[in-house]
Structure 1
Amino acid sequence: MARRAYSVTGALRIIHKSACDIMFKSKQFAGIIPVVDYKLCGLDVSDQQVKREDLYNAGKELIDAFSAVGFVYLTNNGVDSSLWQEIRDVTDRFFNLEVALKERYTSKESMLGYIGLNKENLDKSKPEDFKEAFRMDGTVFKHPEKLPEDICPGIRNLILKFMTICRSIAERILDSLSMAMDFKEEDSLNKCHNLLQTEINSSLLRLNHYAPVDQNTLKLGSVRLGAHRDRGTVTLSFQDNVGGLQVEHNGKYVDVPPLQNAILLNAGDALHSISGGLIMSKKHRVVVPQEEVKQRLTRHSYGFFAYPDDDVMINPPSIQNDETSLNELPHSMTFKQLFTNWYSKTRVPN
């Protein structure tokens, strides 16, 4: 298969305005996070009915928000909110099982399987991340037997359904962004993501489970999720109302308040590079709540990470980061190489 390349100066006619010139049109905000109403483009509007003009206008709003803050809430997205509760119920049943049962589904060789408590460390200045997770890439559709149906009945069909919906809304969002980014070919961005949820695209669904906190046993300085930037194009987050998520903004971390039935989107390093640095890929983290009542709550968050296809050539992000020195990276590499290079540094050695 021929390799494809993002070229900021070739495939994309650079957007002639800087971040400081951007005025976000919507007056709706949740904290500092802009809110975009997606009712004309959500999944309850069919592919045949959705209008190009509406996708374009929504894409412009998304780009404005990403350029200013790096995050945006997507309301009226067409994803049935009752599905989130079903996912929460079934994942609670799984994560509440004995550790030995869950660890039967641990995999060190693939991106499909269970990740135990304190097994990842996204911020090396902090102790290990205080969370569990179950992650799934596109191989799950060929190997659904790797989902823990035997110890958690009902999880298999529900997860496959949820992943399919995540792909559908991600593709609609990519449509909006691609139309609004002034590419020479309007579907350039889509073409670099046309293998979502296959074995040659690294896009992931992560079911994150943040257990109640016992301050007597928690390591000093612990966070639930270490500060990091996402490496892909765009991340879709479905979260409950417990809170704790923060984004770096103007040199400090700011709370990202939950917004009911909205999908929280954030731009990753790939989209930052594609946009020539206009769109911001922001560091974010999940901290332990200060309120004791919230410390006793389980936090649920489900993230779908839309990545370019594995063979797409991409320049390393122009932004500096703490995980990888850009001087150590070649001028360009496949997205798979870029992602693998970063992810290998987040694992906690056995």
Structure 2
Amino acid sequence: MPIEKKKAYFDGRFGLTYLSIGARKSHSKDIIKSDYLECLMLAYCIEDHQWPDIPGFRAKIQKFEEKCKFIGLQVFKSLSLAMKLKNKDNFFKSHLLVNSEKNPSLLKVLQYPPVNSKEVRPSFAVHTDFGSLMFLFSDDLSVLQMHRVVVPEDRNKRLQSRRSMAFFSNRQRSYVGYIRIRRW
């Protein structure tokens, strides 16, 4: 998609939002750097008119998000058993509305542009992610590390665009309940 069309999706609201290269700033110690990536953030509750006019895009994204939700719910069930929660259903129920308007879950589609040897720097600096559970997916070229994305050492990989996706699963905002964890 041409950059002009991508920029039409930068509105700062909850929904479909595009961030161009350098739009995000990472603050690490006393250094402020622009992240070297572009990002499309997709909340599940995107209104019909906000979706890009790309055949099949919406259906593929929503199918992928539903698969992430299904896997996430299985993980939450397993965690509630492993943590020996008194009320195992509270943990699971607090995530049932993932991929709905009442839940702040989010999918980020990321692209890291080619980097020549003179520009080597982290693509996405050290950071902290939010939410209950995050799934990371990447192509064979990406170098995802816990809490950061780095530029590949291999020059051939650096000279190619790299892609990854992150799905953030969160509990619904309206859920009233608590989780009591037993002492081991």
For residue 145 of structure 2, what is the aligned residue in structure 1? 246
Distance 2:25 2:175 in 1: 27
Matched, 1:134 2:40: yes
For residue 237 of structure 1, what is the aligned residue in structure 2? 136
Distance 1:144 1:180 in 2: 40
> What is the aligned-residue RMSD (CA, Å)?
2.2
Matched, 1:225 2:88: no
Question: In the TM superposition, what is the alpha-carbon distance from 1:242 to its structure 2 partner?
Answer: 1.2
Q: What is the SS of the residue equivalent to 1:145?
A: helix
Matched, 1:287 2:150: yes
For residue 206 of structure 1, what is the aligned residue in structure 2? 108
Pairing of 1:303-342 with structure 2 (within 5 A): 303-311=166-174
Q: If the length of structure 2 is used for normalisation, what is the TM-score?
A: 0.85
For residue 120 of structure 1, what is the aligned residue in structure 2? 24
Distance 2:108 2:62 in 1: 13
For residue 78 of structure 1, what is the aligned residue in structure 2? none
For residue 104 of structure 1, what is the aligned residue in structure 2? 8
Q: What is the SS of the residue equivalent to 2:88?
A: coil
Q: What is the SS of the residue equivalent to 1:187?
A: helix
Question: In the TM superposition, what is the alpha-carbon distance from 1:245 to its structure 2 partner?
Answer: 1.8
**Identical positions, percent:** 29
Q: What is the SS of the residue equivalent to 1:179?
A: helix
**Consecutive aligned runs of 4 or more in structure 1 exceeding 6 Å deviation:** none
Instruction: Structure 1 unaligned segments of length 5 or more: list them.
Output: 1-96, 248-283, 315-350
Matched, 1:190 2:96: no
Distance 1:165 1:145 in 2: 24
Distance 2:81 2:48 in 1: 35
AA at the equivalent of 1:243: S
AA at the equivalent of 1:182: K
CA deviation map 1:196-236 (0-9, x unaligned): 112221110111111111344x4xx7321121121111101
Distance 1:301 1:116 in 2: 15
Distance 1:287 1:240 in 2: 14
Distance 1:98 1:156 in 2: 18
Q: For the pair shown, which has the larger CA radius of gyration, 1 or 2?
A: 1
Pairing of 1:150-165 with structure 2 (within 5 A): 152-165=54-67
- CA contact 1:178–1:186 (8 Å) conserved in 2: yes
Distance 1:138 1:166 in 2: 12
Distance 1:145 1:102 in 2: 15
Question: In the TM superposition, what is the alpha-carbon distance from 1:168 to its structure 2 partner?
Answer: 1.2
- CA contact 1:209–1:298 (8 Å) conserved in 2: yes
Distance 1:295 1:180 in 2: 41
Deviates more, 1:299-308 or 1:289-298: 289-298
Distance 2:74 2:124 in 1: 28
Q: What is the SS of the residue equivalent to 1:225?
A: coil
CA deviation map 1:171-198 (0-9, x unaligned): 1111111222111111121122122112
Distance 1:111 1:228 in 2: 22
Q: What is the SS of the residue equivalent to 1:134?
A: strand
- CA contact 1:113–1:146 (8 Å) conserved in 2: no
Q: If the length of structure 1 is used for normalisation, what is the TM-score?
A: 0.47
Matching residue within 40, 52, 77 for 1:175 = 77
Distance 1:227 1:144 in 2: 35
- CA contact 1:244–1:286 (8 Å) conserved in 2: yes
Q: What is the SS of the residue equivalent to 1:302?
A: strand
Distance 2:104 2:114 in 1: 31
Distance 2:150 2:175 in 1: 34
Distance 1:170 1:126 in 2: 34
Greater share of residues in strand = 2
Distance 1:129 1:238 in 2: 19
CA deviation map 1:144-190 (0-9, x unaligned): 331212xx322121111111111111111111112221111111211
Distance 1:191 1:183 in 2: 13
